[in-house]
Amino acid sequence: MRYIKYLLPILALLILTGCGTKRQNFEPTSLSGELDYDGSLPSTIVDVVRNGATLENGQIITKDGLQNVKVPEGYTFLGASNEKYIATSKCSDLIIIDNNSKVVYEKKFDSVVASASLKNDMLAIVLGSNKVLLIDTKKDTILYEKSGDKVYAHDSKIAAPYFLTSLLIFPTLDGKLLIVDLKKNKLLRDVVVKSERFFSNVIYLDVLGDRLVAATKQRVVSINPKSMAFLDEEVKDVIILKDRVLVFTKDGRIILTDSDLKVIKSKKFKFASFVGTIHGEFVYIIERGGYMIATDLSLISSNVYELPDEIESFVFTTDDKLFYKDNYFKLSKPRTK
């Protein structure tokens, strides 16, 4: 008991100290302008995935912008292909709807659907149990399935399966890539990006030419037919360019690498917390404190613009728009002060 007597004041001090800790915010030295909303959405964003967002009224936003399609109540959007839209519920139900919001396929699983992709009649799914499935929706038959190791927790950013011409790449929740031959429906190879039981799911997956780039929160991997390269960082997001890769880190850095992940240049924005990125002629980074950082692709120059609001909830970006709450604006229209 005497040890408890001395321990209690220490615990109280630690608790008080912890409660008093305040996150330090990004504070730009100068602003190049400010951004105003260009319009409003018919409803508020209630869910976001890498490829789109769901509004409270059921409408969805894809990379092509706001759609007239609506998912049923209780469902959220996962992905789209050729005017077909995938949605899922918290009760492990999955549906595919057409342009008229009509359900053309539905199936219930034994675990929540973490991510999914569609190509013609083939539906690729990653379940919350870390099982992957390839389904022929026309025949409603399973073409391929594989269960991975049990995962105890994963990041909310979850990459979707990726269809290539004759291959399918499954990003797993324990940090692996399963490469499946679509002609034989057999596993060709598995690649470990960074495999852990906690928060190690693949958060980014893209292909450019003959190069595949994937990332977990702890590592980026770049794969081509001849080699494989790794970069260990606390990753927030990744952009793959023609011959370069941009890695956005948890501590506010942008790292420019070559295609083999060799660092070319790094730029740090002190205390910045990145919540969204898009790119075109410039790279636009959305910062949680209410700023948009615009930089050239070589990280030579940058400008900071003030957003109408701090980012406190879901945000989604397309090639030229940023959607937040029930508003949107075009990223190409900064107003100079």
**Model confidence pLDDT, tens digit, residues 121-140:** 999 999 999 999 999 999 99
**Predicted pLDDT of residue 108:** 97
Residue 72 structure tokens: 């049923």
Four-residue CA torsion sign, 102, 107, 113, 116: negative
Predicted confidence band at 21 (pLDDT cuts at 50, 70, 90)?
low
Torsion of CA 89, 316, 270, 336, to 10 degrees: -160
Percentage of the chain beyond pLDDT 70 is 89
The whole-number average pLDDT for the span 71-88 is: 96
Question: Letter for the amino acid at 38?
Answer: D
Backbone angles phi, psi at 324, to 5 degrees: -145, 130
The whole-number average pLDDT for the span 315-321 is: 87
**Predicted pLDDT of residue 330:** 83
**Predicted pLDDT of residue 156:** 75
Percentage of the chain beyond pLDDT 90 is 72
Please say if the pLDDT value at position 198 is more than 70.
no
Q: Which of 268, 269, 207 is nearest to 238 (CA)?
A: 207
The pTM of the full predicted model, rounded to 2 decimals, is: 0.87
**Predicted pLDDT of residue 279:** 80
Q: What is the mean pLDDT of the chain?
A: 89
Q: Which of 227, 176, 211, 212 is nearest to 197 (CA)?
A: 176
Which is more confident, 156 or 290? 290
